[in-house]
Structure 1
Amino acid sequence: MPTGLEVRGLSKRFGGLVVAEGIDLDLAPGARTALIGPNGAGKSTFANLVTGILRPSAGTIRFDGRDIGRLSERQRVSLGIAKTFQITNLFTRLTVRENLRLPVLEREGRCMRMFRPAQGDPEVEAEVDALIRQFDLEPLADRPVSDLAYGQQRLVEMALTLALRPRVLILDEPAAGVPSSETHLITDAIEALPGDLAVLIIEHDMELVFRVAASIVVLVNGRILTEGTPDTIAADPEVRRLYLGGEDG
């Protein structure tokens, strides 16, 4: 049976600078875990270590019992570990539909056929249409991404990442730069993600975190300070001191 992602003793040093040290974290299928902490705590570094963007100085990363520490970022995506970014990474001159077609064709090894008519790849187009419906993007499907509000662009990026059919999805600050009037789009989309998908949310917006996360891990100076349910974290005096002191991140 799939066991998901298991991280043990994960550490990263740049010379004498320690940015992650001794991190243990599990993401079982269906997990909804948030990783929070002050700016510079090492949250994005941790995500980059898990996805293979960075190589750890020590520790192990296992996926379904397999050590993936030596695999490239691309190989980890193929296994089912995918990540969005703090800043949208879309082809703004292409339409929403064309953007979503790209990862589907890439996943199927047919990226050279991305601009063929819909009737040429009915299964691909059906999958793209399903993603458009899932993220309520129907009115925007044939508009260039550059015409979309920022919150809508973040939805497209989330849909694009989901098109890779990940089993572990890391959302790196999905609400970053999104106006408060559009944050509900991101929250609703996270709540609608497949139930068997393991999701790690790195986020500044505590309202979003406490709404969607079943467990929260607090990272400070590259180390885990504490972890627990949202109620436990909300009542923790040290966590409250960090965030009430204006260092929430």
Structure 2
Amino acid sequence: MTGLEVRGLSKRFGGLVVSENIDFDLKPGDRKALIGPNGAGKSTFANLVTGILAPSGGEIRLDGRDISRMGEAHRVKLGIAKTFQITTLFPRLTVRDNIRMPILEREGRGYRLLRRADGEAGIEAEVQSLIDQFELGDLADKPVRDLAYGQQRLVEMALTLALKPRILILDEPAAGVPSSETSLITRAIERLPQDLAVLIIEHDMDLVFRVARKIVVLVQGRILTEGTPSEIAANAQVRELYLGGGHD
């Protein structure tokens, strides 16, 4: 199980180069963060990995299998999942119903999305397990629209984890979350399965330095450097380009 391997990945829109010759690895159990200034190409990279965008060059491999030309839906089935900057929940449904939906879809039982899976104890147990993992017990039977924004982000993470991914991309999990609720996101990331490979794209440096074991710095579509949090914090060029200035 070699995980995700990216080699020479490039993306061009006409004459505009947004990703150039990126080499990147994400192995089972990794906790990596991708940071960089505005326009660095972080979201483009995530969209290339998930299949939302097709690369102009290079390879993306999962356990040695070339998936570069596969579409997004196929990659989800192979175990690559991504959360989004804006929550994609069903606000009128309860937390429990929202979490049940991707599980039933995954099991090919989408026809009964809005019904409790009575008689299917395994499904309901999985729903409850995710509710417990993300500390949503007191909110489980409330409509999502009644939740604070940070709590909604937890539900979104639970939905993504319900797909049973092997590669999880968290796209700005703390975006729009009040500072008083950021600890909810941090704790949720810390409780993710240990064998899950996690890539965090985030601007909250406190969160990044707390949960990431390695940090990759992207500048103008190219990787500037990669290292441990302490190595990145001590890197003068990174401080000048990013950490010491404004965040995007």
Q: Contact 1:7–1:61 (CA<8 Å) still a contact in 2?
A: yes
Q: Secondary structure at the match of 1:21?
A: strand
The aligned residue for residue 107 of structure 1 is: 106
Alpha-carbon distance in structure 1 between the residues aligned to 2:77 and 2:243: 41
| Residue number in structure 2 paired with 1:204 | 203
Rounded Cα–Cα distance in structure 2 between residues aligned with 1:215 and 1:184: 20
- Residues 152-191 of structure 1 aligned to structure 2 (within 5 Å): 152-191=151-190
Equivalent residue letter for 2:231 = T
1:121 aligns with 2:123: no
Partner residue, 2:232: 233
In the TM superposition, residue 113 of structure 1 has moved relative to its aligned partner by 1.1
- Unaligned segments of structure 1, at least 5 residues: none
Query: Does the 8 Å contact 1:93/1:145 carry over to 2?
Result: yes
Residue 124 of structure 1, CA deviation: 1.1
- The answer to whether the 8 Å contact 2:7/2:24 transfers is yes
**Percent identity of the aligned residues?**
76
Structure 1 counterpart SS, 2:32? strand
Q: How much has 1:179 moved relative to structure 2?
A: 0.2
Equivalents in 2 of 1:244, 1:190: separation in Å? 22
Residues 22-77 of structure 1, C-alpha deviations (whole Å, 9 max, x = no match)? 11100000000000000110001000000000000001000000000111101100
Partners in 2 of 1:244 and 1:218 — Cα distance?
Answer: 10
1:194 aligns with 193
Aligned Cα RMSD in Å?
0.9
Distance 1:119-1:244 versus aligned 2 partners, 3 A rule: closer
Residue in 2 that maps onto 1:46: 45
1:247 equivalent in alignment to 2:228: no
Are the equivalent residues in 1 in contact too, given 2:239–2:245 (CA < 8 A)? no
Counterpart-to-counterpart distance in 1, 2:243 and 2:188: 28
Describe the SS at the equivalent of 1:247.
coil
* Equivalent-residue separation in structure 2 for 1:11 and 1:150 (angstroms): 35
CA distance in 1, matches of 2:54, 2:114: 36
Distance 1:244 1:202 in 2: 15
TM-score normalised over the length of structure 2: 0.98
Instruction: Provide structure 2 residue ranges, at least 5 long, that are not aligned to the other structure.
Output: none
Judge conservation of contact 1:242–1:248 (CA < 8 Å) in 2.
Answer: no
